[in-house]
Amino acid sequence: MQLQDILYSQGFGTRRVCAGLIQQGHVQVYDKNVPPALIPCALAATEFEAFELRFRVQGVDWPYAEKAYIMLHKPVATECSQKPSTYPSIYTLLPAPLRQRPQKAAVQGVQAVGRLDQDTSGLLLLTDDGQFIHRMSSPKHHLPKVYEVSVKHPLDDRQIRRLLEGVVLDDDPKPVRAADCVMVSEQHLRLTLTEGKYHQVKRMLAAVSNRVEALHRSQMGGLRLPDDLLPGQWRWLGPDDLLLLK
């Protein structure tokens, strides 16, 4: 695969832009046989095996990824939208190549897998794999999601019991149950859900006469948000990470 085509597939701009980056000496490729040696590249048509290729563009290291899978520590006061109404978009936290990865559809770049409210922080997945987004968003998937919930009023056993047994939300007569519910402290609840209804955590707490003051998603399936991934930071997901989401 030509180097300019590899860069294009990874979101570094049009093929002409990618060729220019190479010709201007801004691209080096890591030698698979002599790591961590870098090979200077000046010819856009140089052929490389894309699989497991690592390269450096303008001083930043990148892995070749046929599909991009990343986790983002979403901060509060950000919106999961390309066209935010009030707060900055989460997509401004990502480097340009992730936002510009080409796709067959009209929308380019990685997309959020589901959404977190503007006042909710925590683990958010993004990818340009449409099938992955569909599978993860399907109600049949029942992926457990763990939320750290700070509440206004002191918690008690009755509230915990009701959340586990099921509460009725306004638009659905069928009770919605928590898969797990742990009172960490008097005003800190660890709630595990396997459904994804609109403002579900806030509405469930309101149904037991309490109020959410702060909400943070700490885990999806077996995938935890790392302690060292600070708000606004992102990280690539590897094959082992993706297995934790099944």
Residue by residue, DSSP assigns 109-121 as S-EESS---TTEE
pLDDT of residue 106: 57
Listed as ranges, residues in the chain with pLDDT below 70 are 105-107
Q: Which residues of 4-36 are buried (b: 16+ CB within 10 A; e: fewer)?
A: bbbbbbbbbbeeeebbebbeeeebbbbeeeeee
Q: Where exactly does CATH 3.10.290 map onto the chain?
A: 3-63
User: Would you say domain 145-220 falls under CATH 3.30.70.1560?
Assistant: yes
Please give the CATH architecture assigned to the domain spanning 3-63: Roll (3.10)
**Known catalytic residues?**
117
Alpha carbons within 13 A on the beta-carbon side of 145: 27
Distance CA 182, CA 186 (A): 11
If we measure between CA atoms, which residue out of 207, 210, 244 comes closest to residue 71? 244
Please give the CATH architecture assigned to the domain spanning 69-140+223-243: 2-Layer Sandwich (3.30)
Distance CA 111, CA 81 (A): 9
CB count within 10 Å of CB 66 equals 10
Q: Where exactly does CATH 3.30.70.580 map onto the chain?
A: 69-140+223-243
Q: Which residues contact 38 (CB under 8 A, 6 or more apart)?
A: 28, 29, 30, 31, 56
Q: Which residues contact 191 (CB under 8 A, 6 or more apart)?
A: 146, 147, 149, 163, 178, 180, 181, 201, 204
Q: Hunting for tokens 């936002």 — which residue is that? A: 99
pLDDT of residue 107: 61
Q: What sign for the dihedral angle of Cα 135, 128, 227, 202?
A: negative
